[in-house]
Amino acid sequence: MNLYISDLDGTLLNSDAQLSQYTINNINMLLKNTDMNFSIATARTPATVVPLLKDLNLKLPVIVMNGAATYSLKESKYIHYNSIESDSVQSIKNILDKSNISYFTYTLKENHIYVYFDKELSSNQIKFMNERKGSKLKSFIKEALPIDSNVLYFFVMDKKSKVLSLYEEVKKIKNISAYAYEDIYDRGDCFILEIFSHKSSKANSIKRLMKENSFTNLTVFGDNLNDIPMFELAENKIAVKNAVQKLKELSTKVIDSNNDNGVAKFLLNEFKL
């Protein structure tokens, strides 16, 4: 059986970070009238994924936080997650705190995401937080990270030079994975650094989903560097036209952009509808 997995931002979502009505209608039509197995792998948490996907009739769990967790939309709960080891958490905090940079630490407790920060935020970080506040699935808390927190990942948003410098340091820490890339919604000097357990990746979560459901073939859609692990895993690697060059070089096909409903059009052609 075939499995189709799409990234969200820059891939399935348009540049306004929304699903177009064309994409909603046609993916739902395919889910209803074919045997298409389709889901999502994203850097987002369920707090924003759930409302974004409310009009899609997805049956499979979704992969969130770049593979740090898998979430069941049907059951409204996390069904798998990878915590960062406590020694690695402290090593990461030491590097980030030494740089005097503000950052978000994502923790999971009783099916709820608590995001801690204890420094003044930049305008970009405030905007990021305000766009995500108010969800019943996630809370932002301005205080030091509590001892023995169940940490899933760290999120840094700052100038390119600072982010890349931190990336070079944190990637040396044992048992972690990290991605540094340009913010697609704020092109220019705004870069993002995401830090996870070494067990966390879109690819690892997809492997688990495939094993649990006996899927044998994989097609993935993406646009950015954090999609590389799942591109390396898949037989069919589909990059949208607006994808970064490195991902296009890894792809087996380049399709229309996220603003031109590239993923939905590809799937319609795939199933001859």
DSSP state string for the chain = -EEEEE-IIIIIS-TTSS--HHHHHHHHHHHHHS---EEEB-SS-HHHHHHHTTTS---S-EEEGGGTEEEETTTTEEEEE-PPPHHHHHHHHHHHHHTT---EEEEEETTEEEEEE-SPPPHHHHHHHHTTTT-TTEEEEESPPPTT--EEEEEEEEEHHHHHHHHHHHTTSTTEEEEEEE-TTSTTTEEEEEEEETT--HHHHHHHHHHHHT--EEEEEE-SGGGHHHHHH-SEEEEETTS-HHHHHH-SEEE--GGGTHHHHHHHHHTT-
66 and 98 share one domain: no
Question: What pLDDT does residue 272 have?
Answer: 84
Using one digit for the tens of pLDDT, what is the confidence trace for 136-174?
Answer: 999 999 999 999 999 999 999 999 999 999 999 999 999
Start-to-end CA distance of the chain, whole Å, equals: 19
By mean pLDDT, which of 116-125, 147-156, 177-186, 198-207 is the weakest? 177-186
pLDDT at 216: 95
Count the residues in the chain.
273
Task: Check residue 182 and give its pLDDT.
Answer: 86
The pLDDT of residue 187 is above 70: no
Question: Same domain for 244 and 171?
Answer: no
Using one digit for the tens of pLDDT, what is the confidence trace for 88-111? Answer: 999 999 999 999 899 999 999 999
pLDDT score, position 133: 85
Least confident of 1-5, 12-16, 124-128, 205-209: 124-128
Which domain covers residue 41, as residue numbers? 2-81+201-270
- Asked if 41 and 113 sit in the same domain, the reply is no
What are the residues facing 220 on neighbouring strands?
5, 237
Percent of residues, the chain, with pLDDT higher than 70 = 98
Q: What is the pLDDT of residues 119-137, one digit of tens each?
A: 999 888 898 899 888 889 9
* pLDDT on residue 165: 95
163, 178: one domain: yes
**Cα 157 from Cα 32, distance rounded (Å):** 40
**Domain count of the chain?**
2
Looking at the structure, do residues 33 and 161 belong to the same domain, yes or no?
Answer: no
Question: Which pLDDT does position 123 carry in this prediction?
Answer: 85
End residue of a domain, out of 139, 166, 197: 197
Q: Mind listing the pLDDT tens digit for each residue in 32-63?
A: 999 999 999 998 999 999 999 999 999 999 99
Could you tell me the CATH number of the domain that includes residue 56? 3.40.50.1000
* CB neighbour class for 144 (10 Å; exposed up to 12, middle 13-18, buried from 19): exposed
Question: Phi and psi (nearest 5°) for 101?
Answer: -95, 150
170 lies in the same domain as 219: no
User: What pLDDT score was predicted for residue 188?
Assistant: 65
pLDDT band at 72; cut points 50, 70, 90: very high
What is the CATH number for 110?
Answer: 3.30.1240.10
Strands across the sheet with 77-81, in order?
Answer: 62-64, 69-72, 77-81
Question: Last residue of a domain, which of 141, 163, 197?
Answer: 197
Average pLDDT on 218-224 reads 97
User: Same domain for 50 and 151?
Assistant: no
Both 244 and 111 in one domain: the answer is no
pLDDT at position 186 is 66
Percent of the chain with pLDDT over 90: 87
Considering the chain, what is the average pLDDT of its residues? 94
